[in-house]
Structure 1
Amino acid sequence: MASFISSKNWALGKRRIAKKWREASPFWDWLTTGVVILNQRGEVDYANTTAQDLLELSVLQLGEKPFVQHFISEEQLTKVLAEVRQESYAIHRLLFNLQKIGRPEPLPTLLTVSSILETDSVLLEFVTAEQQLRLDREERTLEQSQANKELIRNLAHEIKNPLGGIRGAAQLLESELTNPELTEYTQVIIKESARLQSLVDRLLAPHRKPRIIGDVNIHEICERVRSVLLAQYPKQIHIIRDYDISIPEFRGDNEQLIQALLNVAQNAAQVLADFSPQALPGYQATITFRTRIARQITIARHRYKLALELHIIDNGPGIPVDLIDKIFLPLVSGREGGSGLGLTLTQTFIQQHDGMIECVSEPGYTDFKILIPLP
Structure 2
Amino acid sequence: MTQPPIETTQLYAHITEQLTTAIMLLDTQLRIRYFNTACCAVLSLGEKRLSEQYFPELFQHIDITAAHFHSALNSKQGFGVSDVQAVLADGRHLLLDISVTISENPSEHLLLEIRHVDQQRKISLESLQQHQHLAARELIRGLAHEIKNPLGGLRGAAQLLEESLPDDLKEYTQLIIAQADRLRNLVDRLLGPYKPAQRVSSNLHQMIEQVRQLALMDNHGLVQFNRDYDPSIPDFPFDPELLQQALLNIVRNAQYALEQTEHAVISLQSRVLHQHTLHGKRYKLVALVRVIDNGPGIPNEIKDTLFYPMVSGKAGGTGLGLSIAQTLIHQHGGWIDCDSWPGHTEFTLYLPIADTED
Q: TM-score range by the shorter chain?
A: 0.5 to 0.7
Correspondence for 1:121? none
Q: CA deviation at 1:101?
A: 4.9
- After superposition, the Cα gap between the structure-2 partners of 1:204 and 1:101, relative to the gap in structure 1 and judged at 3 Å, is closer
- After superposition, the Cα gap between the structure-2 partners of 1:136 and 1:247, relative to the gap in structure 1 and judged at 3 Å, is same
Q: CA deviation at 1:76?
A: 7.1
Correspondence for 1:186? 173
Q: CA deviation at 1:338?
A: 1.9
Q: CA deviation at 1:77?
A: 11
Query: Percent identity at matched positions?
Result: 45
Q: Are 1:330 and 2:309 counterparts?
A: yes
Match of 2:300 among 321, 326, 338: 321
TM-score normalised by structure 2 residue count: 0.68
Correspondence for 2:184? 197
> Which one-letter code corresponds to 2:216 in the other structure?
L
Q: CA deviation at 1:79?
A: 6.5
Correspondence for 2:230? 244
Match of 2:343 among 364, 369, 373: 364
> Which one-letter code corresponds to 2:321 in the other structure?
G
Q: CA deviation at 1:155?
A: 1.1
Q: Are 1:168 and 2:120 counterparts?
A: no
Q: Is residue 96–residue 117 contact of structure 2 (8 Å, CA) maintained in 1?
A: yes
After alignment, is 289-298 or 255-264 more displaced?
289-298
Structure 1, residues 87-133: CA drift from partner, whole Å, max 9, x if none? Answer: xxxxx8656331545586697999xxxxxxxxxxxxxxxx9522111
C-alpha RMSD of the superposition: 2.7
> Which one-letter code corresponds to 1:133 in the other structure?
R
> Which one-letter code corresponds to 2:149 in the other structure?
N
Aligned residues: 265
> Using the alignment, how far apart are the partners of 1:252 and 1:237 within structure 2?
29
After alignment, is 291-300 or 260-269 more displaced?
291-300
Correspondence for 2:7? none
- After superposition, the Cα gap between the structure-2 partners of 1:346 and 1:284, relative to the gap in structure 1 and judged at 3 Å, is same
Correspondence for 1:227? 213
Q: Is residue 336–residue 349 contact of structure 2 (8 Å, CA) maintained in 1?
A: yes
Correspondence for 2:78? none
Pair member with larger Rg: 1
Q: CA deviation at 1:151?
A: 0.8
> Using the alignment, how far apart are the partners of 1:149 and 1:315 within structure 2?
32
Q: CA deviation at 1:183?
A: 2.5
> Which one-letter code corresponds to 1:262 in the other structure?
L
Q: CA deviation at 1:198?
A: 1.1
> Using the alignment, how far apart are the partners of 2:318 and 2:201 within structure 1?
31
> Using the alignment, how far apart are the partners of 2:170 and 2:288 within structure 1?
54
5+ residue gaps, structure 2: 1-12, 23-37, 50-57, 59-87, 98-114
Match of 2:125 among 137, 140, 157: 137
